[in-house]
Structure 1
């Protein structure tokens, strides 16, 4: 049996290349929230640290404006 090497693809941050981050864009923010309305971690989403901080602030701001649910 020959063992094949599996290569992991490096995740690229979506916000670094193309998307802009806005707290009013609910469809984009909902991709980074799970079914229990918790913010997903960086490992799952593939967002860089800089944009993860901005993303969490945008989600919190959208929650305060009642655009996203708390639970």
Structure 2
């Protein structure tokens, strides 16, 4: 999974010219790594704890949260 992180960061940091922060996701289909990139004076990124839907008892609840987020109206 770590192979996709450099590519994600490259694209995300470039997009900070148009927005203050960016969320990204790297996955291998079983594990999901969310990344939050902030464009302060010195841009930084933070890895959100790794999600493993095969081994997580909270996976169903988390998926329900994602589904609800996707249904939110676009605020642009």
> Is the TM value for this pair above 0.5?
no
Higher helix share: 1
Greater Rg by CA: 1
TM-score, normalising length: structure 2: 0.27
Higher strand share: 2
Query: Which has the higher relative contact order, 1 or 2, with Cα contacts under 8 A spaced 6 or more apart?
Result: 1
TM-score, normalising length: structure 1: 0.29
